[in-house]
Chain A
Amino acid sequence: MNVTITLNGGQVSHDVEPRRLLVHYIREDAGLTGTHWGCDTSNCGACVVLMDGKPVKSCTILAAMCEGHEIRTVESLETDGKLDPVQEGFYEKHALQCGFCTPGMLMTARALLDENPDPTEAEIRTAISGGICRCTGYKNIVAAVRWAAEHQEAAHGHR
């Protein structure tokens, strides 16, 4: 079946089986490999993307269910060579080690700050509780999201 979705602001259209999961549609059909495919069971959160602005686990949504919806992936965070404040925050606070959970963490953090620009540490921890960092670098991830909250207009673009 043909599935057309709005991906990072542009229309993409591919012929896929109805059982095609969104994560594979993004990575293999649309060729955007920034979204990571992790546990396959909606536990780890590496595959989180935004669907109509809300974070969702793309391993547990069919691509067909996204027809007519807007999907945003980690590739959309950087604009005109400028990093999103959450990306800057991850750089400043050393919030990634192996980097596998990072795309999901970044998108979850972006959605949190869009809804709540000044979250407390507890609110950040709740928001990212659907993501697993097996390097266990949560402390720095929380610090990075706080950094982004304090530098919302930053997006220096110096990297």
Chain B
Amino acid sequence: MQTPAPFEYERATSVDGAIASLERLGPEARVIAGGHSLLPMMKLRLAQPEHLIDINDLHELAYIREEGAMIRIGALTRHVDLLKSDLLAKHFPLFRDAEQVIADPVVRNRGTIGGSLCQADAAEDLSAVCSAAKAHVMIRGSGGEREVDMADFHVGPYMTAVGAGELLTEVRLPLFSGAGSAHEKVERRAGDWAIAAASAGVWIEGGKLRQVGIALSAVGLTTIHLTRAEDLLRGQAPSEELFAQAREIAADDCSPSADGRGPVDYKRHLAGVLTERALRRATERALRREATA
């Protein structure tokens, strides 16, 4: 039987209360939401928190809404709601692409966006999705709230910018015209980790790529932000030649390890192909939206 090591449990009744508990209990306290990453790690003793603070009652953190030229997603929003959201699918279709292939439908009833991001597992999809969508996250502590760009969110494997006594509360997706996005993933079977996945966001204005976001899952120790490819594409007119160059950069700039899911050269090849496909589909979507707008 796999059972976590003993811990103390408390249920937060407010965001401020959860933050106060985190501050009081120190680094051995962890927040639990869906628990579908944390509990398996606790069973394996890869995580051994002394206190768990359950935030599942903080319904004020479960929402997806358009407000102030951005989509705001509460940290406790579950995968199933991200999958079903027409608002999100309209503005950022890469979320629906990803949510269809994250874990399985039963797990998606529990797992949350905040938990996924804070887990910062390099093989997890939403970190790449949010990076490609140029998201910002709101992190709250007792001293107030701060906004962190996804580009600065991952500080190492399983490590994020969320500090001691802080709680990730919201994901913000700024809305700009000409947006298109896509997420491409290859996995062996439902619920398995990705062999590789690529997320792309493009913002097209006057026939040129005004902004580009590209990130990879499962092919390095952290989510890989393909900044070199983003810099190459920005300001140019989208073309198959450019996407092929991005494919090569993706294969070069990732750092996969060989495991049961495949050897390094295969994963590099896959990272490149998926990057190219994601860029192509994101661009098609941006142009189609423009045509129907």
Binding site for B on A (CB under 8 A): 1, 17-19, 21, 24, 37, 40-43, 45, 48, 51, 54-57, 60-62, 64-65, 67, 108, 126-127, 129-131
Contacts and interface: CB of A to CB of B under 8 A. Distances in A.
Contacts of B43: 40-41
Interface in B99-114: 103-107, 109-110
A56 B107 CA distance: 7
B109 A60 contact: no
Interface of B: 1-9, 11, 32, 35-36, 39-40, 43, 52, 54, 56, 80, 103-107, 109-110, 190-191
B6 A43 contact: no
Contacts of A64: 9, 11, 54
Given A41-B40, A129-B105, A65 B5 contact: no
Contacts, number: 81
A127 B105 CA distance: 6
Contact of A130 (B3, B6, B191): B191
B35 A60 contact: yes
A109 B96 CA distance: 23
Contacts of B39: 21, 60-62
Contacts of A18: 6-9, 52
A57 B107 CA distance: 7
Contacts of A56: 106, 109-110
A42 B42 CA distance: 13
Contact of A62 (B35, B40, B80, B104): B35
Given A60-B35, A65-B56, A40 B107 contact: no
A130 B5 CA distance: 26
A60 B4 CA distance: 11
A54 B56 CA distance: 15
A54 B8 CA distance: 27
Contacts of A60: 35-36, 39-40, 107, 110
Contacts of B105: 55, 126-127, 129-130
30 contacts: A1-B9, A18-B6, A18-B52, A19-B7, A21-B3, A21-B39, A40-B2, A41-B2, A42-B40, A42-B107, A45-B104, A51-B109, A54-B80, A54-B109, A55-B105, A55-B106, A55-B109, A56-B110, A57-B36, A60-B40, A61-B35, A62-B9, A62-B35, A62-B52, A64-B54, A126-B105, A129-B104, A130-B107, A130-B190, A130-B191
A130 to B, nearest CB: 3
A10 to B, nearest CB: 23
A92 to B, nearest CB: 25
Contacts of B1: 24, 37, 40
Contact of A48 (B2, B7, B9, B106): B106
A108 B104 CA distance: 12
